[in-house]
Structure 1
Amino acid sequence: MKKVLILAYYYPPLGMGGVQRATKFAKYLPVWKPIVISVKGVEYYSYDESLLKDISNIKIVRTGSLDPLRIAFIFRRIFRRKKNIVNRIYREGRLKRFYNTISRWIFIPDSKLLWIPFAVLKSLKIIKKENISIIFTTSPPNSSHIAGLFLKWLSKVKWVADFRDYWSPDRVINFPTPFHKFFNDFIKRKIIKNADHIIGVSLGIIDEAKGYYKKDDSDYSVIMNGFDADDFPENITKKRDNKFYIIHSGTFNYLRNPGNFLSGLELAVIENPDLRNDALFLHIGISIDFDLKSEAEKRGIDDIIVEKGYINHKECIKLLLNGNLLLLVQSDFCSSGMIPAKIFEYLASNIPILAVVPDGEAADLIRRFNRGTICENKNIEKVKNSVLFYYNEWKKNKPEKTLETPLKIPEELKKYSRKSLANDLKNIFDKIVK
């Protein structure tokens, strides 16, 4: 059996959406045997031990690192601090500004640069010992691809670079000097040039990669994110509690700011006061640089907002399936190829989606499967009307008793199952290593 070495900094027991892709590839990859290189314990926003069950039979080798998240983890253990330092940094403005300034000036392309020597040294030993046939690196962090570049040069093993996000879109990252931008772009060109294959989660990301270095089109592939049927229960239980649930799962931040949705919800409550008693907006996840409670209080709707915080992935999906309307938000300055990974779980749920997003690939997916309503960010009136429309539909059709129905994932979505996507990855590996 051929072996693939997967370099993934973000990996269980870390939580949140960034760990899902590499985890599910390792879980479902057919024919190939994965060995994973990741980092030892780090400070992070949230953890999800339940994801380890997906990879209980996968060999995971964890290395040291000198990056800030690893140092913060060690510091907390030595001094026996209970509070999560990462969450504290994002709550305290001065600490956050200081950390961001240091990161922008010193760490190119990102602060995980200090993981590279540990990952490379350990990987070289494993490549030799396990007779690795291919190296697979996934970003963020972009530093994982620099590790892949060094491994390609030093071991001559074939290398596939996987981009879960844009490298550094200018409209999101402000470089402190022209040199920082030049050096950042230089690194990316080297990576695109030397990787044997480039994978992106969207057409937009692949188009950006092609702009950095001209290669044959066959050297690029899109493998989108997806859903794992194993994470969904066999049956959906819809409780009769006379509540119209609007649910968002994931992180609110500067890229996914729900302010315009909240303004639309405020107008909907003003127009139909029954919503105040009947509706509940449930946020499953965390907020970074956005105070949901404060923003809801400003609009006078804090009494219909519930923040659940981060919960494990399967429990999150179980809660999601009790929703009547699922919320998807993206800020206007998001690049058109940014597709939140949660969208595939939303689509698989068969629950209507209210997407407050700019035009792009995420909106295209919802249109293609006819799964909901798309509102431009500035069209708060349409957000209001959409909330009222789905609320009135719920009132007409709400169950008289608790119902349990089998979950039916539409046939046309099966190609986005994690198992199917892992097979797509296997086909790329087979093509590269004949």
Structure 2
Amino acid sequence: MNKKILIITYYWPPAGGPGVQRWLKFTKYLPEFGYEPHVYIPENPSYPILDQSLVKEINPKVKIIKKPIWEPYQLAEKITKKNKDFKAGQFETSKKLGLLSRLSVFIRGNFFIPDARKFWIKPSIAFLTDYIKEHKIDILITTGPPHSMHLIGLGLKQICKENLKWIADFRDPWTKISYYSQLKLTHKSDKKHKELEKKVMQTADVVISTSYTDKENFEKLGAKNVVCITNGFDSEVNILNKKTLKFTLSYVGMLETLRNPVNLWNVLSELISQNPEFASHFCLKFVGKISNSILDELNHSIIKDKMVNIGYLSHTESINEMNNSDLLLITNFNNEQSKGIIPGKLFEYLATGKGILSLGPKNADVEKILNETESGKHFTYYDHENLMSFLMNEFEKWKNNLIASPNLKNSKFHRKMLTEDLSNTIFSIFQKKIQN
């Protein structure tokens, strides 16, 4: 008989973007390990990005439960269209925000704690308390952000106590996220966020992080049992071994102002202006939503004529664009606090076998993975000369038709392997429950 698991998530197909991928893929493979996933989602969510292609990836063995949610984003978007970007995770620096946008950020951070989905917490606890008893659910998993999902888990754990084991999965950290300082919090609100975060950490039976640094930080907050299970890639990512028409550097995903790799643009501008051969063969490709300020910057530079901005594509189409590239770009926030961020797209980058160019803080978790898998190179935002040498070396490889080959060192990041790690974590909880 399959063990029953209840997963509470806000993001689920047809939601697009990286947030939906993690549990869509876990639930794809969990039945193979003897688990019956029940997934609780909002009936009428406000998703910033849609990707209908992901709907067909839902495992038919997954039982979906939907309940209505009320969230204030529709009202916020009437105040200013920029609130749609804020909802999608695009944060401009405070200097570039208008008065209405700054007001909206202040209201969001101080009046909607932990986030604007807070109004789903109480009705969800009331409904799921009965659902858990009726369906004899043993394991509860909440995944955030939004971190209000964890508060649903906290409420259910307090009611069901030892009869229910709770796993809190943090796809991103709560108060350690890079844009937390952009929320314009009062002292009282900041204290409230941190109190709730600590309570979740200390109450959950297991806390899952997606990076090694986050694991260390969660342990410092008092989490009693932290397991790191990174994101990964799935079987639909296939290697395409053929030379591209242009030496193509691609960024796939969302790129906001706070992760703008200015030094890279400077290096590329220098190479284009000084090296006619590089200039004639180079292409910079964007696939996804790119900050207007970054596009404006590039459109006023020598890079403009070498740039292709495709816009948002479905998950499958995005993978095709990765394959039709030579180098894949990943950037991080330019601060020490963000070294634990491992963007989900890194693993799909890895699966293609293409070279990866990473920019971010020193000693980042991304750098550790790239070194471990020998899949690319990580640079700080100010490493000008080494970055230029790396790009020229990769360009020479392209000229000489040195095509990427499969990398067996990446296999540990396949979604099925990661689901086995999750299964082992769940199994250990069941064992403790039996022993108690």
TM-score range relative to shorter protein:
0.7 to 0.9
After TM superposition, give the deviation of residue 113 of structure 1 in Å.
1.3
Amino acid in structure 1 at the alignment position of 2:430: V
Q: What is residue 227 of structure 1 aligned with on the other side? A: 233
Against the structure 1 CA distance between its residues 254 and 121, is the aligned structure 2 distance closer, same or farther, given a 3 Å change threshold? farther
Q: CA deviation at 1:327?
A: 0.8
Deviation at 1:37, TM superposition (A): 0.8
Structure 2 letter corresponding to 1:221? V
Q: Distance in 2 between matches of 1:53 and 1:292?
A: 34
Alignment size in residue pairs: 412
Structure 2 CA distance for partners of 1:412 and 1:382, relative to 1, 3 Å: closer
What is the aligned partner in structure 2 of residue 343 from structure 1? 346
**2:305 pairs with 1:308:** no
User: Following superposition, which runs of at least 4 residues in structure 1 exceed 4 angstroms of deviation?
Assistant: 70-73, 87-95
Amino acid at match of 2:277: D
Residue 174 of structure 2, aligned match among 167, 170, 173:
167
Match of 1:404 in 2: none
Change (3 A) 1:395 1:14: same
Structure 1 CA distance for aligned equivalents of residues 16 and 82 of structure 2:
14
What amino acid sits opposite 1:207 in the alignment?
E
The structure 2 residue matched to 1:433, chosen from 416, 420, 430, is 430
Q: 1:196 aligns with which of 205, 208, 227?
A: 205
**Structure 1 residues 220 and 44, CA, compared in 2 at 3 Å: closer, same or farther?**
same
Q: Residues of 2 paired with 1:263 and 1:142: CA distance? A: 38
Contact 1:44–1:69 (CA under 8 A) maintained in structure 2? no
Q: Secondary structure at the match of 2:377?
A: strand
1:151 correspondence with 2:156: yes
Native 8 Å contact 2:327 2:355 kept in 1? yes
Counterpart for residue 246 of structure 1: 249
Conserved? CA contact 1:38–1:119, under 8 Å: no
Shift of 1:139: 1.0
Determine if contact 1:4/1:32 at 8 Å carries over to the other structure.
yes
Tell me how far apart the structure 2 counterparts of residues 353 and 279 of structure 1 sit (CA, whole Å): 16
Measured in 2, the distance between the counterparts of 1:163 and 1:19 equals 13
**Residue 297 (structure 1) aligns with:** 299
Partner of 2:113: 108
Change in Cα spacing, 1:13 to 1:247, as seen in structure 2 (3 Å) is same
Q: Aligned partners of 2:314 and 2:63: how far apart in 1?
A: 22
C-alpha distance in 2, partners of 1:27/1:311?
22
- TM-score, normalized by length of structure 2? 0.87
Give the distance between the partners of 2:142 and 2:223, measured in 1 at CA: 21
Instruction: Give the 3 Å change call, closer, same or farther, for CA 107–423 of structure 1 in structure 2.
Output: same
Spell out, residue by residue over 1:198-254, the C-alpha distance to the aligned partner (whole angstroms, 9 max, x if none).
110112111111111263xxx21111111111x224x6263653x111111111114
Q: How does 1:122-161 map to 2 (within 5 A)?
A: 122-156=127-161, 157-161=164-168
Deviation at 1:342, TM superposition (A): 1.1
Query: Which residue number in structure 2 is paired with residue 27 of structure 1?
Result: 28
Whether contact under 8 Å (1:145, 1:161) holds in the other structure is: yes
Report the equivalent of 2:16: 15
Which stretches in structure 2 are left out of the alignment for 5+ residues?
Answer: 432-436
AA aligned to 2:201 is: I
In the alignment, the residues of structure 1 paired with residue 388 and residue 107 of structure 2 have an alpha-carbon distance, to the nearest angstrom, of: 42
Assess if the C-alpha contact under 8 Å between 2:339 and 2:360 holds in 1: no
Higher relative contact order (CA 8 A, sep 6+): 1
SS of 2:179's equivalent? Answer: coil
8 Å contact from structure 1 (residues 8, 137) kept in 2: yes
Q: 1:72 to 1:335 in 2, by over 3 A?
A: closer
Residue 393, structure 1, aligned to residue 397, structure 2: yes
Give 1:166's aligned amino acid. P
User: Normalization by structure 1: what TM-score?
Assistant: 0.88
- Distance in 1 (CA, whole Å) between partners of 2:241 and 2:126 is 50
Shift of 1:3: 0.7
* In 2, Cα distance between equivalents of 1:154 and 1:88: 34
2:355 touches 2:376 (CA, 8 Å); kept in 1? yes
Percent identical across equivalent pairs?
31
Q: Counterpart of 1:192 in 2: which secondary structure?
A: helix
Cα distance in 2 for residues equivalent to 1:195 and 1:180: 23
1:398 deviates by: 6.9
Q: What is the Cα deviation at residue 299 of structure 1?
A: 2.0
What amino acid sits opposite 1:312 in the alignment? S
Instruction: Judge conservation of contact 2:29–2:416 (CA < 8 Å) in 1.
Output: yes
Cα deviation code 1:247-286 (max 9, x no counterpart): 1111111442232222221111112133333111111111
1:43–1:85 CA contact under 8 A, matched in 2: no
Structure 1 counterpart of 2:434 = none
